[in-house]
Amino acid sequence: MGLDISVYKNLVETTNEDDDVIYTGNNSGFIYQLGNLKQNTYYSVESVDDFCVGSYSSYSEFRRILHSLIDNGKIEDFWNKYSYLVSTDYQVLKREDKLKRILDINYKSVDIPFLEIIDFSDCEGILSCEICGKLYKDFIFYDSKAKNLNDEYFYGLYKRFTNATMIASENNGCICYC
């Protein structure tokens, strides 16, 4: 058993709960990554790609290596420093009025490379078209550095995510973790 990634395109809000839909209710702790998608809403989708990342521990290692491309410190310190930007309990955000600040950035991005993946749930989360566009730019910018690590597993997965974020960002799509 492992983590699977699905890439979709042509999202359209729907009330029809058939087999070709995604439901955005699973992002409650990661509102930012939904971009302009509505929470607790069904969207009809066209499936483009599916791939298995591997075990959850393999994916955690992927995120640690991804983090090392941008920061020499511990990933736990990174999470502690930046997690409030994209993943915090909704009630805490509301109480501290940080949600407005996060939502006011119009989903253009928090200007920290890969933050939306490094600090994101690996169980049933959704990365919107806008977030995928930002991540795609991050993947392109850091590609040579990632390749130079000479880690075949990491770089293979890095290229899968590069392609997935490109497809989702160019076709009103999204990436779903399942």
Candidates 44, 2, 5; CA nearest to 125 is 5
**pLDDT per position as a tens digit, 6-61:** 999 999 999 887 778 888 875 556 666 777 888 888 999 988 899 898 888 898 89
Calpha distance 100→138 (Å, rounded): 25
Q: If pLDDT is split at 50, 70 and 90, which confidence band does 168 have?
A: very high
Would you list the domain boundaries of the chain? 3-177
